[in-house]
């Protein structure tokens, strides 16, 4: 990658993380040139790139500044979940969300759906069609339980980008990341076991724990740096935790990327207490900065990290192709995968392998990453404009979800009900907590290219929230 792109991404990440606030002066061209050992023109090119992305604005004779109109909502507070293992609730709210099907009359801001309309996905559709036309019908056969070798080879190549050197023989292709997570949980835990989770946390993994009779211990989590290692250490001292389940890269729902030093420190903690780590990397390739962030798995030397991912967020969820790199749990995971779906469908595996081998994956990612980053800025702007004053929102570093925090007493279940007849759907915050916390929060999807209809939907959410708050104030 060019030096100036590297520098622009470094500065961009600092601005995104709030180290420089709107109106702040950015380091001078000369200072950056000395600090990074690059030429003045490299720094100028980096600043021009930041300018194009709306992250820096020049002022005559004064240098570069963070644009004033980049007024972002304040970040959500660090979470404070229950400090003990709990039985998981919230299934009713989760089923309500996942039951919904695409409906042209409803703007679905709640689902974890990527944009599948991009022309960069066309070669994938061509591969699927070509496979269907082949005389030898390769897609109609069972393949090995580990998954099609051609795909595992491509996944192993992609994983090099996250710092992981994995033999294709150590990968298991699964039916989505969902199956990767559930096979991994069953490979490590027994009913009754305690699993530490980030909080808020992906509801799919928590509902899997619920279905398997396990308990979740939610750990306080910072909206910029992820799970609190201090709180996790205390929890490990206090409880017989079997597994730590987290999404450290482009977290769902908060969007943060855990800094590399904290990833290493978390692994050291897991080694000290001899606990396995379930790392969900399903959004990792959608980080806005390039090169993409490393995984905890990339530092793992004793095979205690089970890395789960899929092509559901990067390509399309309907393909249902995921994978797990289970480390020392390979045999157990294979068994658990076998009893759940046997082999994974062959045709989409062959098509994805062909798509990646044909060189189409990286151009597609490049396009989606910048679309999602622009979507994030647009959605944050709408929240600032249309939501009640004082609303807080996450500052995602990748992916396509925004987490919004309304005043403490607000109830997004009521908001969702009020939105039902208005053709808008959101994800209520309580499904991201084992014990139903975060009722005052919601999650919105900004994957689709912004349209007037989406803006109108976000506006309806904000205006309905303002109305409900006013009603509550009158009732009080």
Ligand X SMILES: Cc1ncc(COP(=O)(O)O)c(C=O)c1O
Q: At closest approach, how far in Å is the CB of 396 from ligand X?
A: 13
Q: At closest approach, how far in Å is the CB of 248 from ligand X?
A: 11
Q: At closest approach, how far in Å is the CB of 177 from ligand X?
A: 4
Q: Determine, following the binding rule CB under 6 A, whether residue 312 of this chain makes contact with ligand X.
A: yes
Which single residue brings its beta carbon nearest to ligand X?
176
Nearest to ligand X of 317, 375 (CB atom): 317
C-beta neighbour count of 284 within 10 angstroms: 26
Residues 220-259 that bind ligand X (CB under 6 A): 247, 252
Classify residue 48 as exposed, middle or buried by CB count within 10 Å of its CB (0-12, 13-18, 19+).
middle
Q: Determine, following the binding rule CB under 6 A, whether residue 337 of this chain makes contact with ligand X.
A: no
Q: At closest approach, how far in Å is the CB of 200 from ligand X?
A: 11
Distance CA 78, CA 220 (A): 7
Taking alpha carbons only, the member of 19, 4, 95, 84 closest to residue 52 is 4
Residue span 99-138 as binding mask against ligand X, x where in contact by CB under 6 A, dash where not: -------------x--------------------------
Answer for which of 4, 47, 202, 400 binds ligand X (CB under 6 A) is 202
Q: Strand, helix or coil at 214?
A: coil
Q: Determine, following the binding rule CB under 6 A, whether residue 425 of this chain makes contact with ligand X.
A: no
Q: Determine, following the binding rule CB under 6 A, whether residue 81 of this chain makes contact with ligand X.
A: no
Distance CA 277, CA 285 (A): 20
Q: At closest approach, how far in Å is the CB of 259 from ligand X?
A: 19
Q: Determine, following the binding rule CB under 6 A, whether residue 317 of this chain makes contact with ligand X.
A: yes
In which residue are the tokens 């469908």 written? 345
Separation in Å, CA 194 to CA 15, 106, 110, 118, 188? 38, 38, 29, 41, 11
Distance CA 297, CA 244 (A): 13
168 contacts 156 by C-beta, under 8 angstroms: yes
Q: At closest approach, how far in Å is the CB of 123 from ligand X?
A: 21
Q: Determine, following the binding rule CB under 6 A, whether residue 178 of this chain makes contact with ligand X.
A: yes
Task: Classify the phi-psi angles of 18: left when phi > 0, otherwise alpha if psi is within -120 to 50, otherwise beta.
Answer: left
Answer for which of 310, 314, 371, 373 binds ligand X (CB under 6 A) is 310
Residue 25 is given by DSSP the state: B
Residues 266-285 that bind ligand X (CB under 6 A): 280, 282
Q: At closest approach, how far in Å is the CB of 165 from ligand X?
A: 23
Answer for which of 200, 204, 248, 396 binds ligand X (CB under 6 A) is 204
Phi, psi dihedral angles at 21 (to 5 degrees): -95, 165
Residues engaged in binding ligand X (CB under 6 A): 112, 176-178, 202, 204, 247, 252, 280, 282, 310, 312, 317, 322
């Amino acid at each position: 990658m060019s030096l100036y792109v590297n520098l622009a991404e470094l500065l961009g990440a600092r601005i995104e993380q709030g180290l420089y606030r709107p109106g702040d002066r950015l380091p001078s061209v000369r200072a950056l040139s000395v600090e990074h050992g690059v030429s003045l023109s490299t720094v100028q090119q980096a600043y021009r790139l930041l300018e194009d992305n709306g992250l820096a604005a020049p002022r005559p004779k004064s240098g570069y500044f963070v644009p004033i109109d980049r007024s972002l909502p304040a970040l959500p507070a660090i979470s404070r979940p229950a400090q003990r293992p709990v039985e998981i609730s919230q299934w009713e709210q989760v089923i309500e969300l996942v039951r919904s099907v695409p409906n042209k009359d409803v703007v679905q801001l709640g689902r974890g759906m990527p944009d599948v309309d991009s022309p960069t996905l066309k070669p994938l559709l061509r591969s699927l069609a070509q496979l269907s036309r082949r005389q030898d019908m390769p897609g109609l056969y069972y393949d090995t339980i580990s998954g099609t070798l051609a795909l595992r080879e491509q996944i192993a190549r992609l994983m090099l980008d996250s710092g992981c050197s994995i033999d294709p023989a150590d990968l298991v292709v699964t039916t989505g990341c969902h199956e990767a997570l559930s096979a991994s949980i069953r490979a490590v835990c027994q009913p009754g076991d305690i699993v530490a989770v980030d909080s808020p946390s992906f509801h799919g993994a928590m509902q899997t724990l619920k279905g398997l009779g396990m308990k979740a211990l939610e750990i306080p989590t910072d909206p910029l740096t992820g799970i609190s290692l201090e709180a996790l250490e205390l929890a490990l001292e206090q409880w017989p935790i079997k597994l730590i389940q987290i999404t450290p890269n482009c977290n769902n729902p908060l969007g943060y990327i855990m800094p590399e030093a904290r990833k290493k420190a978390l692994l050291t903690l897991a080694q000290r207490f001899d606990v396995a780590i379930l790392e969900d990397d399903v959004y990792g390739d959608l980080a806005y900065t390039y090169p993409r962030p490393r995984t905890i798995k990339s530092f793992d030397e004793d095979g205690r990290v089970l890395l789960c991912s899929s092509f559901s967020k990067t390509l399309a969820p309907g393909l249902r192709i995921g994978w797990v790199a289970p480390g020392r749990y390979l045999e157990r995971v294979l068994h658990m995968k076998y009893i759940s779906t046997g082999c994974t469908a062959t045709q989409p595996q062959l098509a994805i392998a062909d798509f990646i081998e044909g060189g189409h994956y990286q151009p597609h990612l490049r396009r989606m990453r910048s679309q999602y980053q622009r979507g994030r800025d647009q959605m944050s702007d709408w929240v600032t404009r249309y939501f009640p004053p004082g609303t807080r929102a996450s500052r995602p570093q990748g992916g396509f979800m925004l987490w919004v925090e309304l005043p403490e007493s607000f109830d997004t279940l009521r908001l969702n009900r009020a939105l039902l007849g208005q053709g808008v759907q959101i994800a209520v915050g309580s499904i991201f907590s084992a014990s139903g916390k975060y009722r005052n929060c919601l999650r919105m999807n900004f994957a689709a290219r912004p349209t007037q209809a989406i803006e109108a939907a976000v506006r309806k959410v904000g205006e309905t929230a303002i109305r409900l708050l006013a009603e509550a104030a009158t009732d009080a």
